[in-house]
Structure 1
């Protein structure tokens, strides 16, 4: 997925009130941050991650909650060779958001980011 494709996806979701326009902007910034970290325009297999991010921010804004992922998955995530890079990306999102995100949302973001990193060998594939 590239930035144009992401913006098209987010525009449709925002115009249909599935996500907020603020979450679309934050998601665009997070995508751009990952593009810069990987020195690429295209981030394959990232649709789930960035769709989840925009809906997560919208859920938080609307006061909606989500259940926590299975603890075993989080244990596996912490052993990933990309864990420190994933933490940096999630910390960047929290800085954009301006406050701490709920633990459950952070956990799911960690899972999605780790999947994208693993599927793309840490950004070395295009």
Structure 2
């Protein structure tokens, strides 16, 4: 499988973490492996919004459209922007090489971060 690069930008925009992922990986999993503060309480079952990320505007159109269920969950997330998505619903493809996502300021991981 091909490797791709993902950049996670911190809440304050001051710090970024470059991560390597494989095509087919889930963005939430890659975020957690790289110590990003995304809780993912429902473990990717789309029953919460604790993996909410803001996708860079240059990358947003590379993603498939959000499902109605994902849109409903995003309605419950704090600090939603036009390019908000749930990381658990993003399967990484070669087209997403160089993807940049920002951690929302409302993000609070209660799992020890």
TM-score normalised to the size of structure 1?
0.27
Higher helix proportion (structure 1 or 2) = 1
Q: Using CA pairs below 8 Å that are at least 6 residues apart, which structure has the higher relative contact order?
A: 2
Looking at secondary structure, tell me which structure has more strand per residue: 2
